[in-house]
Structure 1
Amino acid sequence: MPDSERLGTHYFPIQVGQFHIYEVEETNYYLIGPETENYQLRVEAVDSVMLSSGEVQYTIHRSRRLDENSEWKLDSIWNTSVSLNKVVANENNVSFVKLVFPIDEGSEWDANVFNSRSAEYYRYADQRSDTTLADQSYTQTIRVIHSDEGFDSVGRDDRFEVYAPHAGLIYKEMHVWAYFQEDGQVDPNKIVSGRDLKQVLISYGQRD
C-alpha cells in the first residue's frame, strides 16, 4: 500500500463527488482598459476512468456563480489524471504537470512536457508553512511556484499555487501582463493585456 504521507499524494486528494468552492477576484487587461470580476468557482470531480497507463483520469466540472444567492452555471469541463508520481491537469485542452511525487522542497519539473509549449519549470518552495484562509487554518502547506520573474521592462509574470494536506488546492495567485509599447518605447503606467487572479478556498467536501 503506497504511503501517501511519504509521497505527498495527500496534498492532492481526489475522488468522484469531491468538490471545492473558491472566492475569485479576476482582472483582465485590454487595450481599452481593465475589467474586474468577483465570483465563486466550484470545482467538482464528477466521473473517473482507469487509463491503460495505470493513472486515474477524473472529469472535472467547473461552475460559476456571482455569490451564494445565485445559481451555479457550468463554465467548463476539464480533466485531471493522477498517478503515484504526478498530477496532470488538462486545462482548456492544454495539459500541465501540476505536482510531482514525492514532494521534496526545491524539486522542479517541466510543467509543459505533455503539451507543445516551450519548457517551463515549476518548483516547490523551500519550506512548508502554516496559514489561515477564510477563517480556516491549514498546516504544512506547500507552495508551487510557476513563475517568479516579477517585473521587467515589458511587464510582469508572477504565478503560484498553495496546497494543504487532505484539502488540495487552497490558494492561487497570478499576475501576468504586458505594458503598452509604441515605437520601441514602453509605458509602465499602462497595462494593455494580461490577467490578475486571486482564488481562495472557502469550503470543500464530498457529495454522497
Structure 2
Amino acid sequence: MKRILLFVVLLTSLLSSCGDDEITRDAERFGYQYYPLAIGNYWIFNVTENKYVRDAISQTSTYQKREWIDATVTDQTGREWYRVQISRRNTASDAWMVSGVKLISMSSSDLRIQENNQTTVQMIFPVKNGNSFISNAFRNEDHDKPVYYTYADLGSIFTEAGNTYDNTVTLLQGDTDTQLEYQEKYEVYAAGKGPVNRTDKHYFYCDDSTGEQCPYGEEYIVNGTDKLEVLESSGKME
C-alpha cells in the first residue's frame, strides 16, 4: 500500500511539473496552434449583422472589428491572461475606436475567455473530433443548464472570402432546428491563424398554429438575428 501511495505522489508531482510545458513541447498534437496567443497579435474581422421582423430584414449593420493583444496580466491564482483590446470602425478608412476588453488564458488543459465578468471555457485540449465539453462551467448563472461545445471537421480545408485555410477545426456552440426556432452557432479556427469565422443565427418562427397571424410551419421568421464575422487580416503589431 505504501508503495502504491508513493507512486501516486510521484506521478502527481511529475504531471504538475510538466503542466504548461506541453504547450511549447508538443503544440500540434494537442491543438494549441488553433489559437496562437502572443503580445502584439491582432485579428481584423468584417462583420455583418441582420435583424429580422415579420420575415424580412429590418436592419443591417456592417463594420470592422479588431482584436489586439496588448498586454498580459496575472490573476490571484497565478494564472496568466492575455489582455485583448476590442476596437470597431465603420469602414476601413475610419479610425479605430475602442469598444471593449476581454481576457484570454491558455493552459495545457483549456483555453478560457473572460468578458463582462463572465468566464467561458472556449476550448479544451487535446483537440479531438467529436469531443464535447461544458463551456459555462465557471459562469455565475445557469449552472443547471450546461452549454456544450463540440469539435467537428478537424483538419478540414475551409474557404471563405477568397481565403483558403488548409488545417481548420470547427467549434459547434449551438444547434436548434424545430418548427418554432432555429439556432446555428459555431466558430472556425485555422492552425497558426486563430479564429477565421464566427457565425451566429437565431430565428423564431411563427407559432400561430391556426395560420391567422402568420404562415405556420413555413419557417416564417417572426423575429430574429444573425451575425457573421469573417477574418479580413491578421498579424502582429510590434
TM-score normalized by the length of structure 1:
0.88
Higher mean Cα deviation, 43-52 or 99-108? 43-52
In the alignment, the residues of structure 2 paired with residue 203 and residue 33 of structure 1 have an alpha-carbon distance, to the nearest angstrom, of 28
Distance 2:78 2:30 in 1: 17
In 2, the alpha carbon distance for the partners of 1:134 and 1:126 equals 19
Residue ranges of structure 1 left out of the alignment (5+ in a row): none
Give the secondary structure class of the aligned counterpart of 1:68: coil
Higher alpha-carbon Rg: 2
Q: Deviations along 1:94-147, whole A, 9 cap, x unmatched?
A: 321111111111111001111122201111015421123333321120001112
1:94 aligned residue: 118
Pair 1:4-2:27 in alignment: yes
| Shift in CA distance, 126/72, structure 1 to aligned 2, threshold 3 Å | closer
Q: Distance in 1 between matches of 2:222 and 2:115?
A: 25
Partner of 1:49: 73
Is residue 164 of structure 1 aligned with residue 190 of structure 2? Answer: yes
SS of 1:128 mapped into structure 2: strand
Q: Following TM superposition, by how much is the alpha carbon of 1:74 offset from its aligned partner in structure 2, in angstroms?
A: 1.0
1:130 aligns with 2:160: no
CA deviations 1:72-103 (Å, max 9, x no partner) are 11111111121111111123333211111111
Q: Report matched runs for 1:1-208 at 5 Å.
A: 1-2=21-22, 3-29=26-52, 34-51=58-75, 53=77, 55-115=79-139, 116-117=141-142, 118-149=145-176, 151-179=177-205, 181=207, 188-192=219-223, 194-208=224-238
Q: One-letter code of the match for 1:125?
A: A
Structure with more of its chain in helix, by fraction: 2
How big is the shift at 1:196? 0.3
Judge which range, 178-187 or 112-121, deviates more: 178-187
**CA RMSD across the alignment:** 2.3
Q: How many residues align?
A: 206
Give 2:156's aligned amino acid.
S
The CA distance in 1 between the partners of 2:98 and 2:86, in whole Å, is 6
Structure 1 distance, partners of 2:91, 2:119, is 30
The structure where strand makes up a greater share of residues is: 1
Percent identity over the alignment is: 27
- Output the CA distance in 1 between the equivalents of 2:164 and 2:45: 15
User: In structure 1, how many angstroms separate the alpha carbons of the residues matched to 2:78 and 2:167?
Assistant: 29
